[in-house]
Each structure stands twice: as structure tokens, then as C-alpha cells.
Amino acid sequence: MNSQPKANLKEIMVIEASKFISNGDTVMVGTGMPFVASIFALKSHAPEMCFVVETGTIAPEVIPIPISVSDPRVMHRAVKLGSLLDALGGILHRGMADIGFLGGAQIDKFANVNSTLIGDKTNPKVRLPGSGGANDIASHAKQILIIAPHEKRRFPEKCDYITSPGYIDGPEGRVKASLPVEFPDISVVTDLAIMKINKSKGILEITHTMPSISVNHVIANTGFTPLISDNIQIIPVPTKDELDLLRNTIDPNGVYV
């Protein structure tokens, strides 16, 4: 008899986000949930991915999950203990990053990300950590992957501040801003759904929903009106092996999941 608890939505979110990473990809990673999903990919279906921490560590063995980009576990058996310049200048700005992994306090309908402040710019209600390498990642990565809990306040019509650019204000927003990657693939993976940028309109579109989650429930928890795919798919429930890897090896203390 299997007594293992069923997967919760946060676990499904992390495992599903990891599937965007292919074997051999070079992935730029910051702190938080992107760590978990990237390490899950590395330890499951993408053992030859190159894991690059924005502070400069390249291809470390990070088990169990570190709590920040400065955690010594980030540096364990790394190919190189580099600098911010190595990661952002030597890899990202040279166009060598296949995927840039981000989180954020706000994500708007154009997939812009805010990790700077909440409220008015001159007198904010809350000050957040800021960009770190996030703006560089969003500007230079070929594919942008955002992972975040799904709640209405986190998905406003317009970000209070654009820390990291999505499509800025529409399909030509990045072109007008002269960003080096003009039309990246952008996917937002949440604990309710997956939304992907519709490049012709520059707006996020619901393409997948979590098991037992309706499209209407996703829309009710989103502060803007997303586009809706004509072919909505249901995200699969993780396998026992996937849950064992996540719960017992990658995040055994439940720090993130």
C-alpha cells in the first residue's frame, strides 16, 4: 500500500517548470524556486545542463538545496568559482544562456517582472531586494522562465515598477527598447497554471492548468485578463519517482516546497 502523500500544487509547479529545461541547456539561475526547479532538472532528465548561478558559480553540485546565491552549498564541486562578471558578462551578455530563470513580486500581462518596490516610486509601500542579475537575464536570455505562486495581487494589470522586461508594452516593446533579444519565449509557471507569451500580441496566454483547476479559477486569481489558448492542456500529476527525488533528495527539509 502506498502511503506517500499526494503531490501538492507547489510540488507540481516546480516539477513542471523543470521540464522547460533540456539536456545540454545553459541555465542562468537566481535564488528561490528557480534553484529548486533547476536542480530537479539536473538530477532527473537534464544531467548535462550547465547550471550557472548569477553570482558567478558555474556547474556546481548543489544538494541539498541552498537557501541563497551566497550559500556555500552553491559552490560545492563547481567547475568554476567565478564572479558576477563571469556569469553575466562572460556567459549571459555573450548570448550563451539558453534559459534565464526568474521569480518576482509582480508579473503583469506583458510578462514584465517587478522585484524592486510596491506602490508609488517616490514613496513605496514596500521596498524589495531589487534586480540583482534579473534585468540582465530578462534582457539577454533566449528563453525566459518565470516561476511564482498564483494570486491576484502578484499578477496586476501593470507592474508598479519594471525591474526585468518582458514584452514591456506590447509585441514591439523590446524592439523599441533596443533589447538584444527582441522576441524571447517567455513562460510563467504557477501553482494554478502555465501562461506563455503570445508573441503576436505581446500578452500572456493561458496554455495549461493544474489538475482540478479550472480556467475560470485561474482568471479569478489574475489581476489582468489573459489570453486563453484554444487548446488548454492539463498538467500531469508527478510520478512517485519524481516526488521521491524532490522530497527526499533535493528539498528534504521542505525549505522551499
DSSP 3-state assignment of 250? helix
Is 250 part of any domain?
A: no
Amino acid at 111: A
E-strand ranges in the chain read 26-29, 50-53, 57-58, 80-81, 99-102, 106-107, 113-114, 117-119, 124-127, 143-147, 185-189, 193-198, 203-209, 227-234
228 within 8 A of 202, measured Cβ to Cβ: no
Question: Which has the higher per-residue pLDDT, 69 or 80?
Answer: 80
Given a cut of 60, whether residue 127 has pLDDT beyond it is yes
Distance of alpha carbon 74 from alpha carbon 64, whole angstroms: 10
Is 252 part of any domain?
A: no
**Mean pLDDT on 151-163:** 97
> Residue 2 — very low, low, confident or very high, per pLDDT cuts 50/70/90?
low
Average pLDDT of the chain, as a whole number: 93
| 54 catalytically annotated | yes
Is 257 part of any domain?
A: no
The count of other CB atoms within 10 Å of the CB of residue 187 is 21
19 within 8 A of 44, measured Cβ to Cβ: no
Domain hosting residue 183, numbered range: 9-244
The count of other CB atoms within 10 Å of the CB of residue 42 is 24
Given a cut of 60, whether residue 194 has pLDDT beyond it is yes
Is 1 part of any domain?
A: no
Number of domains in the chain: 1
Secondary structure element (H or E) that encloses residue 133, with its range: none
Burial class of residue 242 in the structure, from the number of CB atoms within 10 Å of its CB (0-12 exposed, 13-18 middle, 19+ buried):
buried
Q: How high is the pLDDT of residue 1?
A: 45
Is 196 part of any domain?
A: yes
Given a cut of 80, whether residue 19 has pLDDT beyond it is yes
Query: Which CATH number characterizes residue 101's domain?
Result: 3.40.1080.10
**Mean pLDDT on 96-104:** 93
**Mean pLDDT on 234-249:** 95
DSSP 3-state assignment of 139? helix
Q: How high is the pLDDT of residue 54?
A: 85
Is 84 part of any domain?
A: yes
> Residue 75 — very low, low, confident or very high, per pLDDT cuts 50/70/90?
confident
Q: How high is the pLDDT of residue 3?
A: 61
Given a cut of 90, whether residue 217 has pLDDT beyond it is yes
**Mean pLDDT on 88-111:** 94
Q: How high is the pLDDT of residue 74?
A: 84
Is 78 part of any domain?
A: yes
Task: Say which of 48, 54, 182, 205 is annotated catalytic.
Answer: 54
Is 183 part of any domain?
A: yes
Given a cut of 60, whether residue 18 has pLDDT beyond it is yes
